[in-house]
A and B are shown apart, each in its own frame.
Chain A
Amino acid sequence: MTAANREDIDHGGRLLLFVTGEAPRSRRARTNLRNVLKARGGDPDQVVEIDLLRQPERAIRHRMFATPALLRTDAAGTESVLYGDLSDSVRLHRFLDDLPDEET
């Protein structure tokens, strides 16, 4: 995954997708996010994916105990979390709408 070598970079203004390996929900979330970002003309690569099975300490650091989950940090450092496999595209769109520095 592209996420593997980008997980330690500063994620300000970016999206972190927390998954647990290849669990069905994690796979669905990955696909759903990719599709919505594409539909919005966004760059799917802006998403940093973190596999908590491989890096459980990141679950602790980010307080991410339910997965899949999408973590968004705005420029001010305020975090928002969207839990679930992102199958609710209306919610996902709204979550992404609020992103102030969304790239085009």
Chain B
Amino acid sequence: MLQEHAKLLALLKETDEVTGRKKLQKLVYIAKRLKQPFQEKFQFHMYGPYSEELTLQMEEMAQASFIQETHEQKGGYYQYRYSLTPAGEEFLDAAMPEGAGLDAELLETLNERSAKFLELVSTVLYFDQLPKEEVKAKVYKLKARQNYSDEDIDEAYAFIDALRKR
């Protein structure tokens, strides 16, 4: 019963709260690439890997009152804040009585980082079949407005290495 939705509830349970849709998108993408059992399909959009399916699943869970979605206006756009509700926790227990098998430490580590940094990490992961120099060139071209530096990209690589070695 809605197993993929339940995994997202489990993610919110482990992280307490995720601020920003972009951050949530990148967090799930990175976790999926690091072998967490998410199935959502991602495509590259203007701001990196993005899943319409994930956006809709969150909307469905907000409608079902499984998650609390608060949004605040920020310069003409809204920023969303997600957390688990008691009804969501009850659903999670019913749908996945044995747990979702998520790596809580990994999710917390990701959630501690900024959306901008996770955007960079997810972009590096998206192109990880390319040599590092080509990935850098992609980041500079595709993410020109974010002004990522060489050091930022090196930090993203080190971050991914550390997560993979855990």
Say if A and B assemble together: no
**Partner-B contacts on A (CB < 8 A):** none
**Partner-A contacts on B (CB < 8 A):** none
